[in-house]
Amino acid sequence: MLRYLIEKEFKQLKRNKFLPRLILIFPCMMMLVMPWAATLEIENLRIAIIDNDQSPSSQRLVHQIEASRYFKLTGLPTNYDKGIATIEKDQADVLLEIPRGFEKEQVNGRPASTLIAVNAVNGSKGCLGSTYLTQILSPQSSASIRYQFNPHLNYKVFMVPALMTMVLVMLCGFLPALNVVGEKEAGTIEQINVTPVSRFTFTLAKLLPYWLVGFIVLNLCILLAWLVYGITPKGNIGAIYLATLIFVLVVSGLGLVISNHSATMQQAMFVMWFCMLVFILMSGLFTPISSMPRWAQYITYANPLRYFMEIMRMVYLKGSSITDIIPQLGTLTVFATVLNSWAIYSYKKQQ
pLDDT of 350:
54
Of 137, 160, 187, which residue sits at a domain end? 137
41-62 in b/e form (b: 16+ CB < 10 A) is ebeebbbbbbbebebebbeebb
Of 109, 137, 165, which residue sits at a domain end? 137
Compute the C-alpha angle 206/210/213, nearest 5°.
155
Residue 155 domain-assigned?
yes
Pair 225, 231: CB distance under 8 Å: yes
Q: Domain with 116 in it: what CATH number?
A: 3.40.1710.10
pLDDT of 304:
94
pTM for this model (two decimals): 0.78
Number of domains comprising the chain: 2
Are residues 9 and 79 located together in one domain of the fold? no
Are residues 196 and 293 located together in one domain of the fold? yes
At residue 193, the 3 state secondary structure works out as helix
Are residues 109 and 6 located together in one domain of the fold? no
Are residues 82 and 189 located together in one domain of the fold? no
CA-derived radius of gyration, the chain: 27
Are residues 222 and 167 located together in one domain of the fold? yes
Nearest to 321 by CA among 215, 233, 247, 226: 233
Are residues 275 and 332 located together in one domain of the fold? yes
pLDDT of 24:
86
Residue 305 domain-assigned?
yes
pLDDT of 14:
74
Are residues 90 and 237 located together in one domain of the fold? no
The residue segments making up the domain with residue 66 are: 45-137
pLDDT of 141:
39
At residue 118, the 3 state secondary structure works out as strand
Are residues 128 and 246 located together in one domain of the fold? no
Are residues 159 and 256 located together in one domain of the fold? yes
- What is the pLDDT tens value at each position of the chain, 351 positions in all? 677 777 777 777 777 777 778 888 888 888 888 888 766 667 788 999 999 999 998 999 999 999 988 899 999 999 989 998 898 888 888 999 998 988 888 888 777 788 898 887 766 677 788 888 888 887 643 445 566 677 777 788 888 998 899 899 888 888 888 877 877 777 777 666 667 777 788 778 878 888 888 889 999 999 999 999 999 998 889 999 999 999 999 999 998 899 888 888 888 889 988 988 899 889 888 778 887 888 999 999 999 999 999 999 999 988 889 999 999 999 999 999 999 899 888 877 654
Are residues 319 and 210 located together in one domain of the fold? yes
pLDDT of 47:
92
pLDDT of 140:
44
pLDDT of 302:
93
Within 13 A of 32's CA, how many CA atoms are on the CB side?
A: 10
Are residues 116 and 156 located together in one domain of the fold? no
Are residues 241 and 158 located together in one domain of the fold? yes
